[in-house]
A and B are shown apart, each in its own frame.
Chain A
Amino acid sequence: MHKRSPSERIAQLFIHLILFAFAVCCIYPFIVTFMVSLSSEKSILFNGYQLIPEQFSTLAYRMVFQNQFIYTGYGVSILVTVVGTLLSLFICGMAGYAMSIQRVRYRNVVAMFFYLPMIFNAGTLPWYLVCTQFLHLQNTVWALIVPLLVSPFNVFLMRNYFATVPASLVESAEIDGCGVMKTFVKIIIPLSKPIIATVALFIGLMYWNDWSSALWFIDNTHLYPLQYMLYRIKSIMDFVRQNGAMGGTDMPAATFQVATLFVTIGPIVLLYPFVQRYFVKGIMVGAVKG
């Protein structure tokens, strides 16, 4: 380690300042959101959004948790995320594995079949017609799961990883009488835990954050996933108001919205410290691939 010159120290200070400023920009809105959700409606009306509210109140949260839609929203989102992630992982993993085996002769033809839609696709309307007129997905929970099941990128990511598993391992397993499927489940999957964990997290995040599937296909409020419920928060608020559960006009509209926002991002904020490094790893794997 060489000695630091004064100019270098000033440079370091500037670098820290720039990065710190951006880091603050990244989390400031969330902190404000949290504080606003804890303030009373009155102090917002008088003072606007404040970092430290004049008057604390948990009324908004009490209301959010009285609202049935937050529970159905959570239920739908958890169901879609769990089922979607497991199914997608299994389907893409199988295809990726089969394509990684050298002696499968037409694996590149199949790879081409997966590539082509990335180059040319039919456009939104024909896709929408297939989903609604042919598959009749509208207002079913499958509309939130099936269209997102296969992403060619994930298939290729896993294929590339599986291809690094020594072929001799697969061959010796098969000589010992292990079937293809059994080799995949008992040998390949345990060997590939890092890539599977990373891809699972990316798929899980995609399902959890997806809202446009609901925008396209779901009208039934009981099938609203959490994100779509948040998108429709104003109409849901009108519904709650009409039902008069909280004494009609006294409803804290501004804080109610913000509290709902914070309740929907809660799980992500809680999970973030634990999963963050897997995502970083995943991005690097993807980046190396190009």
Chain B
Amino acid sequence: MKSIETSVRPAAGKKRNAFMVEMKRNYPYYLMMVPAALIMFVFSYLPMPGMIVAFQDFNFVDKFKSPFVGWDNFKFFFTSSYAYRTTFNTIFINLNYLVWTTFVSVLFAILLNEIRSKLATKFYQNMMFLPYFFSAVVVGKLVTDIVFSDQNGIANQIIHLFGHEPIVWSQVSGPWGWIIIGTHIWKTAGYSSIIYLASIAGIDDHLYEAASLDGATRWQQIRTITLPMLTPVIIIMTLLSIGGMLRGDFDTIYSIVGDNGLLFAHTDVIDTYIFRAIKQAADFGPTAAVGLYQSVVGFILVFGSNALVKRYNKDSALF
């Protein structure tokens, strides 16, 4: 018994000592990490105890000592119609973002790679990349005031051209889920096609040379070389974005829809719901409960998708 104790103590002492020695030796480096770590702490760690509000009937007098109400806040949200609607819209929009952005940007990357003229490639790339530089508000204004405006919009002009009645866009919610998805693709296709174009550029030229010596057409080369070589990148990008499935694209959606309740049926996502609940209804308890639900499911998704990435390609895992 005694021998174990004596063997443990010096080890513990050594450990503490090692820590002090390390601090003494490298303290300037640790000091350099402090500002970033401090900001990280304040904005990402300090809010964590605040999750307790999810179980409280929050009021500004008692603040975090407000009375506890158990699972009532969760019951309130999950028995309301909002729970299904916002969860469905969030996942529906995010899934479509994922599928269509991947499809369109891989397609464009392959097409850009096929073009002979380097000048034309540069030209198309520059045009496609441009929307990425504009803020969500600018994009939102373009969508609501220029393209899908009720009176003068480009969309209604095209509809008129085909001899149909103009649509009062601000009052029909049906198309807006798709308009948001289209806007996202329009904004990010140029950006993400650059990623895939970089991966295509990394493919060994010998593969193509060998294939064309064997008489493979360009289309066969794309199918049997380019696409299989891109698959790992596509899989990893997909898995990484699954972690964010329950995080609504607040900036784009809120700048397009705003507080137009007529469009909520197809556009209200968890994040826009949370925003309204905080800023307009000051409904803190249930909002914290929604946030906790979002974080816990998000945690499971990130963990699950990361485990899959790890199994697939260890180097690409997030952690």
Contact = CB atoms under 8 A, between A and B. Distances in A.
A135 B51 CA distance: 17
Interface residues of A, number: 101
A215 B123 CA distance: 36
B315 interface: yes
Interface in A111-147: 112-131, 133-135, 146-147
Given A48-B151, A123-B288, A146 B124 contact: no
Q: Which of B22, B138, B240 has the most CB of A within 10 A?
A: B138
Contact of A29 (B126, B147, B251, B254): B147
Interface stretch (A58-66, A243-251, A258-266): A258-266
A135 B319 CA distance: 31
Contacts of A86: none
Given A19-B112, A123-B288, A180-B28, A230 B137 contact: yes
B262 interface: no
Contacts of B114: 11-12, 15
Given A128-B278, A287-B195, A95 B33 contact: yes
A23 B133 contact: no
A146 B295 contact: no
Contact of A94 (B33, B131, B294): B33
Contact of A126 (B51, B141, B319): B51
B218 interface: yes
A128 B275 CA distance: 10
B32 A95 contact: yes
A49 B116 CA distance: 37
A290 B290 CA distance: 31
B82 to A, nearest CB: 15
A52 interface: no
A133 B43 CA distance: 13
A95 B318 contact: no
A11 B194 CA distance: 22
Contacts of B137: 211, 227-228, 230-231
A105 to B, nearest CB: 5
Contact of B47 (A48, A115, A123, A150): A123
Nearest to A147: B43
Contacts of A116: 44
**A interface majority secondary structure:** helix
A56 interface: no
Interface in A76-115: 91-92, 94-95, 97-99, 101, 103-107, 110, 112-115
Nearest to B28: A180
A152 B278 CA distance: 27
Given A124-B278, A129-B50, A117 B32 contact: no
B136 A209 contact: yes
Interface in B193-221: 194-195, 198-199, 212, 218-219
Interface string A1-40: 0100000100110011011101111111110110010000
Contacts of A210: 135
Contact of B40 (A117, A123, A126): A117
B133 A268 contact: yes
Contact of B134 (A94, A149, A268): A268
Contacts of B35: 91, 94-95
Contacts of B37: 95, 110, 113-114
A227 B138 contact: yes
B50 A98 contact: no
A175 interface: no
B103 interface: no
A11 B295 contact: no
B186 A122 contact: no
B279 A216 contact: yes
B30 interface: yes
A276 interface: yes
A2 B82 CA distance: 61
B39 A146 contact: yes
Contacts of B129: 276, 279-280
Contacts of B46: 130, 134
Interface of B: 22, 26, 28-30, 32-33, 35-37, 39-40, 42-51, 53, 63, 108, 111-112, 114-116, 120, 123-131, 133-138, 140-142, 145-147, 149, 151-154, 156-157, 186, 189-191, 194-195, 198-199, 212, 218-219, 236, 240, 250-251, 254-255, 271, 274-275, 278-279, 284, 287-288, 290-292, 294-295, 298-299, 302-303, 315-316, 318-319
Enumerate the 3 nearest inter-chain pairs by beta-carbon distance, A residue then B residue, closest first.
A123-B291, A126-B50, A209-B135
11 contacts: A36-B146, A94-B32, A94-B35, A95-B32, A117-B44, A119-B318, A123-B291, A126-B48, A180-B28, A209-B134, A261-B141
Interface of A: 2, 8, 11-12, 15-16, 18-20, 22-30, 32-33, 36, 44, 48-49, 91-92, 94-95, 97-99, 101, 103-107, 110, 112-131, 133-135, 146-147, 149-150, 152, 155, 179-181, 184, 205, 208-212, 215-216, 227-228, 230-231, 233, 254, 257-258, 261, 264-265, 268, 272-273, 276, 279-280, 283-284, 287-288, 290
